[in-house]
């Protein structure tokens, strides 16, 4: 008899503990049942306590009907997963009409509790969705739904201060020139927006839907690569913003010109001459201060030759002086002199590079005063690629965009009531 009394008292304590953890006020735990796989928590309405409308959360005096029993997955207790069982009431709301009641432990139509959903969402920021599903014994699609709901909540409830400096770039989604557009707040170092493509029509949604007309007027600097649709949209929607072409992309085009000269020349050289310039690609493209002792010695040997490859190397090194200038007039004079030299060099890749520079000078010269780059966006792109790699890619852009927002945008998670 004493043992039965102690056992009954312990069961009551477990029920009380669970009721307090779930934050139940108009409901109570009626029974705790343990099976081989789950611990099942039976919940019922507490007396005639007023229930809340599932839409507006107003208290409702009248219960319209009782629906069939539903189950919700909850966090495990020790190693035993919890399930909540309850027969939802449909209440007569004076504002919304007949609605299913509000559940203090879960969101409407969810099949997991808010506590479990938040735990899954936190882990999904570190692991793949499949790995998160295995950890909590859920289906992959359940994790995808939880993440998408968390992203929807986060985008709706995140802080939206004024944005003054942004970076725009594209990131590859899969093979075949399929891209996403990423917009980053360079001042706050946070992801702002992800678009499904890099076309003008797709990126226009950032300015019209995400920013809006009034917020576009607060933009002061937009850092980007020389992609025409981006330029057109900024000039149309953010006329107060200064366009700044990213240093990383300009240097990338410059290095491509150097490498193209090297490849063209290697095809022309004899077999004996090729030996000298073999394995010289990264020797010519790396910054001199990053070279090792052996590499510096080899480079000093190469530059003694009067070949197009050496001329391309010298042109590349002289152009890098531009990034040190702080006065626009002097920087422009250096660029003009450099472009004249490049056009006289008889190197076709450099002539092509010069033509590109001349058509974009208005977005290159502001570097001297702004000193901004898309380095943070490139770092974000690497993180985005790691999200794709750990999941072995995403079949749909919708899931990939949700994962990017979830991991990179610092979105708040739903509040547990």
- Whether the Cβ atoms of residue 56 and residue 100 lie closer than 8 Å to each other: no
**For residue 134, is pLDDT > 70?**
yes
Predicted confidence at residue 5, as pLDDT, reads: 52
Average pLDDT over residues 192-216: 93
**For residue 182, is pLDDT > 60?**
yes
Predicted confidence at residue 200, as pLDDT, reads: 93
Please, which residues have CB within 8 angstroms of residue 297's CB and are 6 or more apart in sequence? none
Dump pLDDT digits (tens) for 94-115. 999 999 999 999 988 889 999 9
- Whether the Cβ atoms of residue 216 and residue 207 lie closer than 8 Å to each other: yes
Average pLDDT over residues 378-390: 91
Question: Distance of CA 245 to CAs 184, 197, 329, 372, Å?
Answer: 15, 20, 18, 9
Please, which residues have CB within 8 angstroms of residue 363's CB and are 6 or more apart in sequence? 226, 231, 243, 244, 245
**For residue 176, is pLDDT > 70?**
yes
Question: Distance of CA 37 to CAs 7, 10, 61, 137, Å?
Answer: 22, 21, 38, 11
Is residue 18 very low, low, confident or very high in pLDDT (cuts 50, 70, 90)? confident
**For residue 89, is pLDDT > 60?**
yes
Average pLDDT over residues 200-205: 94
Is residue 169 very low, low, confident or very high in pLDDT (cuts 50, 70, 90)? very high
Is residue 2 very low, low, confident or very high in pLDDT (cuts 50, 70, 90)? very low
Alpha-carbon distance of 172 to 197, in angstroms, equals: 10
Average pLDDT over residues 261-285: 75
- The sign of the dihedral angle between the CA atoms of 304, 305, 307, 310 is negative
Residue 97's DSSP bridge partners are 93
Dump pLDDT digits (tens) for 328-362. 999 999 999 999 999 999 899 999 999 999 999 99
**For residue 405, is pLDDT > 80?**
yes
Place of tokens 């060099």: 345
Is residue 8 very low, low, confident or very high in pLDDT (cuts 50, 70, 90)? low
Alpha-carbon distance of 239 to 237, in angstroms, equals: 6
Please, which residues have CB within 8 angstroms of residue 91's CB and are 6 or more apart in sequence? 51, 52, 53, 54, 60, 62, 63, 64, 98, 99, 100, 101
- Whether the Cβ atoms of residue 147 and residue 124 lie closer than 8 Å to each other: yes
Predicted confidence at residue 321, as pLDDT, reads: 93
Alpha-carbon distance of 95 to 97, in angstroms, equals: 6
Computed over every residue of the chain, the mean pLDDT equals 89
Q: To the nearest whole percent, how much of the chain has pLDDT over 70?
A: 94
**For residue 216, is pLDDT > 90?**
yes
Alpha-carbon distance of 320 to 331, in angstroms, equals: 11
**For residue 306, is pLDDT > 80?**
no
Predicted confidence at residue 337, as pLDDT, reads: 95
Predicted confidence at residue 281, as pLDDT, reads: 73
DSSP 8-state symbol, 271 = H
Residue of 86, 75, 81 lying closest to 36 (CA atoms): 81
Predicted confidence at residue 300, as pLDDT, reads: 72
Predicted confidence at residue 222, as pLDDT, reads: 96
- Give 69-129 as a DSSP string: -EEEEEEEETTEEEEEEE-PEEEEETTTEEEEBPPTTS-TT-SB-HHHHHHHHHHHTTS-H
Class of residue 288 by CB neighbours under 10 A (exposed 0-12, middle 13-18, buried 19+): exposed
Token pair of 48 as six digits: 């005639």
Predicted confidence at residue 99, as pLDDT, reads: 94
Alpha-carbon distance of 353 to 357, in angstroms, equals: 6
**For residue 274, is pLDDT > 90?**
no
């Amino acid at each position: 008899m004493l043992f039965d009394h102690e056992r009954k008292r312990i069961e009551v304590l477990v029920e009380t503990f669970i009721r307090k953890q779930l934050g139940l006020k108009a409901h109570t735990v009626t029974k705790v049942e343990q099976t081989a796989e789950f611990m099942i928590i039976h919940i019922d309405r507490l007396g005639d306590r007023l229930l809340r409308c599932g839409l507006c959360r107003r208290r409702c005096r009248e219960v319209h009907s009782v629906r069939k029993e539903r189950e919700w997955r909850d966090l495990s207790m020790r190693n035993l997963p919890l399930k909540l069982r309850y027969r939802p009431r449909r209440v007569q709301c004076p504002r919304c009409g007949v609605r299913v009641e509000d559940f203090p432990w879960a969101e409407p139509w969810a099949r997991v509790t808010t506590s479990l959903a938040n735990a899954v969402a936190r882990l999904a920021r570190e692991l793949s969705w499949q790995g998160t599903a295995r950890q909590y014994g859920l289906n992959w699609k359940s994790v995808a739904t939880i993440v998408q709901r968390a992203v929807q909540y986060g985008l709706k409830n995140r802080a939206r201060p004024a944005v003054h400096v942004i970076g725009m770039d594209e990131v590859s989604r899969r093979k075949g020139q399929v891209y996403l557009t990423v917009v980053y707040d360079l001042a706050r170092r946070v992801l702002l927006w992800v678009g499904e493509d890099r076309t003008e029509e797709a990126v226009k949604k950032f300015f019209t839907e995400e920013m809006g007309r009034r917020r576009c007027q607060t933009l002061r600097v937009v850092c980007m690569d020389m992609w025409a649709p981006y330029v057109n949209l900024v000039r149309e929607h953010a006329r107060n913003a200064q366009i700044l072409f990213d240093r990383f992309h300009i240097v990338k085009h410059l290095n491509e010109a150097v490498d193209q000269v090297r490849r063209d020349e290697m095809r022309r050289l004899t077999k004996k001459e090729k030996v000298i310039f073999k394995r010289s690609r990264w020797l010519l493209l790396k910054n001199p201060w990053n070279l090792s002792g052996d590499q510096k010695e080899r480079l000093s040997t190469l530059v003694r030759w009067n070949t197009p490859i050496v001329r391309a190397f010298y042109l590349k090194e002289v152009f890098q002086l531009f990034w040190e200038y702080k006065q626009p007039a002097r920087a422009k004079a250096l660029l003009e002199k450099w472009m004249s030299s490049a056009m006289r060099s008889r190197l076709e890749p450099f002539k092509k590079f010069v033509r590109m520079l001349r058509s974009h000078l208005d977005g290159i010269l502001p570097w001297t005063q702004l000193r901004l780059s898309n380095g943070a966006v490139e770092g974000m792109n690497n993180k985005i690629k790691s999200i794709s790699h750990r999941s072995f890619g995403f079949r749909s852009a919708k899931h990939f965009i949700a994962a990017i927002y979830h991991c990179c945008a610092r979105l708040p998670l739903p509040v547990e009531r």
